[in-house]
Amino acid sequence: MVSVAFAVSSLSMGGIERVTTTIANGLASRGFDVTLVNLSHRKEFFPVRTQRHLRPGWLSYNWWRIKRKISYVFCGDDHGYTWEPWIRSQFKKGKYDYIILNPDFFVFYDIVRQLHPESKILLWMHNNYDIYVDKYFKEQLKLLKHAVRESDGIICLESYSAQRWRQLNGNIHLIYNPLTLDDQGHRSSLLGKTIAATSRLVKEQKGLDYLLAVAESVPDGWQISLAGDGDDRGWLQSEIENKGLAGKLTLCGALDDDALDEHYANASIFLSTSRWEGFPLVAAEAMSRGLPFVSFDIPAMREVTDDGQYGFLVPLGDTTRMGEVLGELTDDADLRRRYSDLSLERVKDFSLDQVLNKWAELFNE
């Protein structure tokens, strides 16, 4: 039996956490010996059904958090309180054929390798290559590239990033994230005058400034319904009021799966204004409900739409053209139905069974 450890820094509400538990649970149900290594002892939003779930003790973890907070308040930083002690404590036992590291672990690659020299260690890239190199790991780029070169393989979500990482590591695996919303949900009737959008409310990445510009051009009688929450909700709400867009752009807040199903089923188009993504789960969710797909032309969306064959891709930042595409779809029910069928066809490639097959192939090589 192949033994696999997946490492996460927490199971808080987030895409990486949701996908990791979905894949780990799915492989465990298929007979793989799966351990989830969790560095946090905080509230968990996703169920864990693996054979083992390792995490720090409540008392020791929270005492560490208190000391880290004190260090930040009195010393101005908490650099002395990295994840390193928890990585050492959680990885000091166990023996694994494969270890899958999520991004928070990349800079600690050497520690995991030291503790498990016998394991094959793979890095799971959840975002675009350029964003990791130029933004998220800009100050730790040497550590990131070292981990990439020394690891036994890289798991990527889309082709552009796979091509770029292949320059540093030849063992690249392209595996999509799976659809995590129940596949028995409703199909949109395409009759409602709502354009669905779903994202964290983070201005830069999710292009909320672009969204405001697009909302201004939404045809009369139509509105954008935005599900999600985040740090920039206050800013966005204020901008909606200042620009007089209350009738064109509505904030729904964070939605559970049942409410999200209704969010898509009641809409007739799905819209994304993201500047960058890894592999957008919300795109697959919306397509699984039969929504025509409109987004900017970024690597992740090229992958989702197979270079625009299954949806509309607009040059990044061209909100005028995006408004025109939305106008074409709102005016033409037949066009919506055609792209609804294409969405339902494409989303088959993102089914959990298909994705788990790819992971099983990786571990059974």
**Amino acid occupying residue 236:** L
**pLDDT averaged over every residue in the chain:** 91
Q: What pLDDT was estimated at residue 309? A: 94
What mean pLDDT do residues 8-18 have?
A: 81
Report d(CA 108, CA 147) in Å as an integer. Answer: 8
Q: Which domains does the chain have, with CATH numbers?
A: 3-178+352-363 (3.40.50.2000), 194-350 (3.40.50.2000)
pLDDT of 361 over the 70 cut: yes
pLDDT of 86 over the 70 cut: yes
Strand, helix or coil for residue 145: helix
| Band of pLDDT at residue 78, cut at 50, 70 and 90 | low
Report d(CA 177, CA 3) in Å as an integer. Answer: 21
What mean pLDDT do residues 63-82 have?
A: 70
- For residue 347 the two structure tokens come to 């989303």
Which residues are registered as beta bridge partners of 122?
A: 100, 153
**Tens digits of residue pLDDT in 168-218:** 999 999 999 998 777 666 788 999 999 999 998 999 999 999 999 999 999
Strand, helix or coil for residue 336: helix
* Cβ partners under 8 Å of residue 165, min gap 6: 125, 129, 148, 154, 156, 172
The H or E element that residue 302 is part of is helix 299-305
Q: What pLDDT was estimated at residue 72? A: 64
Task: Check: CB of residue 283 under 8 Å from CB of residue 310.
Answer: no
Quick one: which of 333, 62, 291 has its CA closest to 181?
Answer: 291
CA atoms within 13 A on the CB side of 45: 13
